[in-house]
Structures are given as C-alpha cells and as structure tokens.
Amino acid sequence: PRQSRKRKSLAIAYEGDGAEPPRAPWEPRDWREQLERIREMRSSRDAPVDEMGVQKCYDSSAPPQVMRYQVLLALMLSSQTKDQVTSAAMLRLRRRGLTVDSVLQMDEETLGQIIYPVGFWRNKVKYIKQTTAILKQKYGGDIPGTVEELVQLPGVGPKMAHLAMHIAWDSVAGIAVDTHVHRISNRLKWVKKETKYPEETRVALEEWLPRDLWKEINWLLVGFGQQTCLPVNPRCSQCLNQDICPAAKRL
C-alpha cells in the first residue's frame, strides 16, 4: 500500500507532460537605461523633426477631417525627404487652401510645381491624386481609421499608416519605424537578430517593447538619429550611451 501511494504522488509531481517552465520574455540588455539617456539627449526638442516634422505641418485650426487629410499628405510627402523640404512644401500647399477638393481640382503639373523638390515628387503627384480621389469616393473626404485601410492607399506604407493613426486619430496601433528607428534599433541590439527592413524591425520591437512606449519611440529615435546617431559618422563621442551601446566601439 505504501508503495502505491508513493507512485501516485510521483505521478502528480510530474504532471504537465515534462513541459519546460515558461521562460521570461526576451528583452534587450540595458534598454531601459539606454532609453532614459536618449530621453535626456532629446530633452531640448531642437531636432528637425521637432520643429518641422509632420506633427507641425498641418493646420491645427482646420476642421478635423481637413486636418487629418493634411497629416496624411504631409506623411506622403515626407518619404525620402528631409523635414525642412516637407515642411516648406506643405506650407506652399496650405497657402492655396489644402483640402481634398482643392487637390482634386488641381492639375498634376501645378501640384508638381508646388511640392517640388520633395523626393520622388513625380511619383508622389500621381499617388496624391489617386489617394485623394479614393478618399473622396470611399471615405467622404476623410482618411481611413485603420492601418489596414491606410496601407491600401497608393503611396502609403506601414510607417506612414502608423504615424497617421498616432497624429491624425490619436490612436496607437503599432510602432512607426522609419530609417532612423530601424538603424538605431539594430545598433542598440533592440532586435533579437539583425533586421534588414523597417517592417521587420517594427514586428521585432512590438514583441518586447511595452505598449505605452510605442507612440514615443518614433519621435525619440528620429530626433536622436538626426542629431547624434547619424547614418554615417555617428557622433558617438557626444552620446550618453557610448559606454553601453553595442555599436559604439565599432563605429
């Protein structure tokens, strides 16, 4: 009888079919300290993105629907374009009354003259005209309220869609990853393994970064990338993370 009781207790002790205990979720080494130091370096808010970023390009006094349209247009113009150039192009557009109807009434040549010299301006003229027509026909002149619908619009990629959700709809659906966020995340080893494309980086970051930081991270890293963690010749000697950045000694 004793033996059978012992066997029974052993069976209960090993219940669970030999499954391993759950592991702690992965997170990068020193990331909290790195983030805090980046916040300190960004405290002056004097990077181009702070003064001329998309969040500064729309008319905040416009009706909400017009404001959201202007946000989306600024994002479309900003691709492969410096903030200063995007800001100037948006100012020229707004002087002509920037609405869905005004853009639909404008011919492509005029639109091109206004937005030049933004990067790939000829393609953007076509995308803006196509997207604006869709917004008028399908969304009553407003912009879609989901990432899934936004990325279906001509010339709108995932980064733009997430930023449009942040800025236009005040909704955090995911992390907006541009070239700065992509580059810095890889340099700091904020991804488990090196990523080649911004969309890969977005997925990797969202796996571990607390959701309450998703909105802030784009703004922080873009400005940091514009001023300190440059694409070429980063200013490591001026960076507060120099001692805990995996890339600092190599660069």
For residue range 84-102, what is the model confidence (pLDDT) as tens digits?
999 999 999 999 999 999 9
**Pair (195, 130) in one structural domain:** no
Is the four-CA dihedral 224, 233, 56, 213 of positive or negative sign?
Answer: negative
Residue 49 domain flag:
no
How far apart are alpha carbons 224 and 212 in whole angstroms?
A: 20
List, for residues 137-191, the tens digit of each pLDDT value.
999 999 999 999 999 999 999 999 999 999 999 999 999 999 999 999 999 999 9
CA 173 to each of CA 72, 91, 151, 158, 159: distance values in angstroms, whole numbers, following the listed order: 16, 28, 13, 11, 11
User: φ and ψ at 230, to 5 degrees?
Assistant: -65, 155
In a domain, 40, yes or no: yes
State the CATH number of the domain containing residue 66. 1.10.340.30
Contact 96, 102 (CB under 8 A): yes
Looking at the fold, whether 168 and 82 belong to one and the same domain comes out as yes
Domain finish residue from 172, 201, 222: 172
204 and 167 in a common domain: no
99 and 156 housed in the same domain: yes
- Note whether 138 and 184 are same-domain residues: no
87 and 159 share one domain: yes
Catalytic residues: 159
Contact 229, 187 (CB under 8 A): yes
| Domains identified in the chain, total number | 2
Kindly report the number of other CB atoms within 10 A of residue 23's CB atom.
6
My answer on whether 66 and 158 are in the same domain is yes
Whether residue 20 is contained in a domain is answered as no
- For 36, the domain range is 29-44+174-250
pLDDT score recorded for residue 54:
96
Residues 168 and 230 placed together within one structural domain of the fold: no
CA distance 127 to 216: 28
The answer, yes or no, to whether residue 11 has pLDDT greater than 50, is: no
Same domain (yes/no): 114, 212: no
Phi-psi sector, 209: left (phi>0), alpha (psi -120 to 50), beta: beta
Compute the 3-state secondary structure of the chain and give helix, strand, coil in percent, each to the nearest 5.
60, 0, 40
Is 12's pLDDT higher than 50?
A: no
Give pTM, 2 decimals.
0.87
Beta-carbon contacts of residue 216 (< 8 Å; ≥ 6 apart): none
